[in-house]
């Protein structure tokens, strides 16, 4: 039995004494302990070495003490497993030297055997579960098919992903074949994560907000929903679409247990658009963690008041920034633990 199960109870929609709290990218660069390992090992070595991934996952549990751990990994291990080369370049970020730009390229992309290509992730889950010792739940995650598609086609990060969108609009059949391959791989990958020990799953649709509502339905939500449908009988699923407030109503009608909200959508609008019956997660502006700790605590309490303490998971509206002082991250977590309705 997990000792602190607030996070899981919130996903179940139960009435609880206070909302749970964790932070996207909480196992990351704001922690000196993380930076020490980063200086010794390159990015994908950290992802592929179970002992390192487990250590990085539990670092924030020891230091800032959130109510859930999220496995240290990266969304781009999925395209790597599918035979798409991905590098992590300093000062640039993800770099794919051979982007997918044609039907012939799509046909070369494989749907892999998960244990064979991503077994190191499962080994990291097993080690992490041992380290956590049932203190808090463990979240597994994957990028949405659309977000993975963006990197696979664009070849790198982008402010607009025009090349990826152009591929969808000029070669829709090839685009849908690639999106389906990514979806099939992601379903198999996440089911294996659940089987290995993850207590919940989050799907990150980081670039969903780049699409119009109609295009979002066709090129993103359709595939996310396939993943939700496949996973819902086995675990709780959180869907986080950055900039996707327009889809909250449709998302809320799915089998997802919770919906993530970014900081551009108010609590009131999020509750209204989602119908008021599903657990919501979010949505503190990550840059607001640069405010003084006293201000952070006041704003967090106000945010909980606006969302309501039930069917709510406190989080940031996107990942924590690398230059946030640890004391400020701790103030964010502590503010939730100190909350009295």
Active site members: 25, 29, 38, 74, 151
CB 134 within 8 A of CB 1: yes
Tell me whether residue 151 is annotated as binding. Answer: yes
Half-sphere exposure of 315 (CA within 13 A, CB side): 29
Tell me whether residue 291 is annotated as binding. Answer: no
Pairing of strands 279-284, 138-143: unpaired
What letter does residue 247 receive in the DSSP assignment? G
What letter does residue 288 receive in the DSSP assignment? G
At CA 36, angle to CA 32 and CA 40, rounded to 5? 160
| Rounded Cα–Cα distance for residues 42 and 319 (Å) | 20
Tell me whether residue 30 is annotated as binding. Answer: no
Count of Cβ atoms closer than 10 Å to residue 116 Cβ: 8
Tell me whether residue 28 is annotated as binding. Answer: yes
Tell me whether residue 301 is annotated as binding. Answer: no
Output phi, psi for 85, to 5 deg.
-70, 130
Helix 172-196 with 145-154: angle, nearest 10 deg = 120
| Rounded Cα–Cα distance for residues 170 and 80 (Å) | 25
CB 201 within 8 A of CB 281: no
| Among candidate residues 156, 238, 168, 253, the one with its CA nearest the CA of residue 205 | 238
Tell me whether residue 25 is annotated as binding. Answer: yes
Tell me whether residue 268 is annotated as binding. Answer: no
Residue 150's SS3 state is helix
Tell me whether residue 217 is annotated as binding. Answer: no
Question: Within 6-113, where are the H helices?
Answer: 6-11, 32-38, 43-48, 50-63, 77-81, 103-108
Tell me whether residue 176 is annotated as binding. Answer: no
Q: Which residues of 180-193 are buried (b: 16+ CB within 10 A; e: fewer)?
A: bbbbbbbbbbbbbb
| Among candidate residues 232, 322, 311, 281, the one with its CA nearest the CA of residue 22 | 281
Tell me whether residue 318 is annotated as binding. Answer: yes
Binding residues for substrate: 25-29, 44, 74, 151, 206, 318
Binding residues: 25-29, 44, 74, 151, 206, 318
């Amino acid at each position: 039995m997990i000792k602190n199960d607030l996070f899981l109870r919130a996903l179940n929609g139960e009435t609880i004494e206070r909302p749970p709290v964790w932070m996207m990218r909480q196992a990351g660069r704001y922690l000196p302990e993380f930076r020490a390992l980063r200086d010794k090992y390159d990015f994908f070595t950290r992802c592929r070495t179970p002992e390192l991934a487990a250590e990085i996952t539990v670092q924030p549990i020891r230091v800032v003490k959130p109510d859930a751990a999220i496995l240290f990994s990266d969304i781009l291990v999925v395209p790597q497993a599918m035979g798409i080369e991905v590098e992590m370049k300093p000062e640039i970020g993800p770099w794919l030297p051979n982007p997918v730009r044609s039907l012939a390229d799509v046909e070369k992309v494989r749907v892999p055997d998960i244990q064979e290509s991503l077994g190191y992730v499962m080994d990291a889950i097993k080690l992490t579960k041992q380290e956590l010792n049932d203190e808090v739940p463990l979240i597994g995650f994957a990028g949405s098919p659309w977000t993975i598609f963006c990197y696979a086609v664009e070849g790198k990060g982008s402010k607009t992903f025009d090349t990826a969108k152009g591929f969808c609009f000029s070669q829709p059949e090839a685009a849908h074949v690639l999106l389906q391959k990514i979806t099939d791989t992601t379903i198999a990958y996440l089911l294996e994560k659940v089987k290995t020990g993850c207590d919940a799953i989050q799907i990150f649709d980081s670039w969903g907000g780049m699409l119009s509502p109609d295009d979002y339905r066709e090129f993103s939500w359709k595939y996310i929903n396939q993943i939700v449908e496949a996973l819902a009988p086995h675990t709780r699923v959180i869907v986080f679409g950055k900039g996707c407030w327009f889809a909250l109503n449709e998302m809320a009608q799915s089998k997802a247990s919770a919906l993530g909200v970014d900081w551009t959508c108010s609590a009131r609008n999020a509750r209204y658009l989602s119908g008021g019956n599903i657990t919501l997660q979010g949505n503190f502006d990550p840059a607001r963690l640069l405010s003084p700790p006293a201000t952070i605590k006041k704003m967090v309490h106000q945010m909980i008041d606006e969302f309501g303490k039930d069917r709510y998971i406190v989080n940031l509206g996107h990942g924590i920034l690398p230059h946030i002082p640890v004391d400020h991250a701790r103030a964010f977590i502590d503010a939730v633990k100190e909350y009295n309705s």
